Structure formats: C-alpha cells, structure tokens
Amino acid sequence: MVASESYQEYPAEIQLAFHALGEPLRLKVIAILHREELCVCDLCDRLHLSPSKLSFHLRALRQANLVLSRQQGRWVYYRLNRPQLAAVIAYLQQFTVGEIVPARICS
C-alpha cells in the first residue's frame, strides 16, 4: 500500500453491526429470531440465560439496529430488523465483485 492510499472510514452502522455480531450468543439470538418474534422470557428459556444477561446482549443488538423491540403490557417482544440486516449484507457484497489485482513482485 502506498502512503497516500487510505481506507475509507466504515459507516458507523456497519461498525456497530459487526461489533454486535462478533459475540456468538448474539448470533444465536439472530438465528432464533429469523422466523418469529419472541418475548424476552421465551428467549431466556431457549438460550438458558438469565434475563439480565440476555438484556445485555439484546441491548447491543438494538444499538446496532439489528433487532427491534415492542412492549405489549408488561412483556417486551423482539424481532429481526430485516432491512438493517439486508443493508449489512449489501455492504459486504460490494467486496465480492470485481477483479483482484495481483500483488506486485517485491524487490
């Protein structure tokens, strides 16, 4: 890389998404929510977690806008934010097209 070249700053939403998805437990939450909306109590049961531990991970997913929540009475329900997940996938897809320039021979 030449000194004048620099990487573009990554969009904040992409950084937050990668940070959130870097934790295996959060990937499990994404996998569980891919087909249905669930209340916190059901997520706790499926993941065998305490509400406080799950809350920590759900907060990270919410901050990354990867899950949406709604309150109904005393229950909070979570579902995937599919448009945001699609935006993250679209961001990654840009790196799958085009030709890769071969390395120059070092001298």
Q: Is residue 4 part of a domain?
A: no
Residue 44 and residue 54 in contact, taking contact as beta carbons nearer than 8 Å: yes
What phi and psi values does residue 43 have, to the nearest 5 degrees? Answer: -65, -40
Whole-angstrom distance, CA of residue 80 vs CA of residue 33: 6
Give the C-alpha separation, 101 to 65, whole Å.
35
Answer yes or no: are the C-beta atoms of 78 and 26 closer than 8 Å: no
Residue ranges making up the domain that contains 69: 12-85
In a domain, residue 97? The reply is no
The enclosing domain of 76 has a CATH number of 1.10.10.10
Q: Does 70 fall in a domain?
A: yes
Number of domains in the chain: 1
In a domain, 24, yes or no: yes
pTM summary value: 0.82
Domain assignment present for residue 25? The answer is yes
Residue 76 falls within a domain, yes or no? yes
Does residue 98 form part of some domain?
no
Residue-wise pLDDT for 6-53, tens only, equals 456 778 899 999 999 999 999 999 999 999 999 999 999 999 999 999
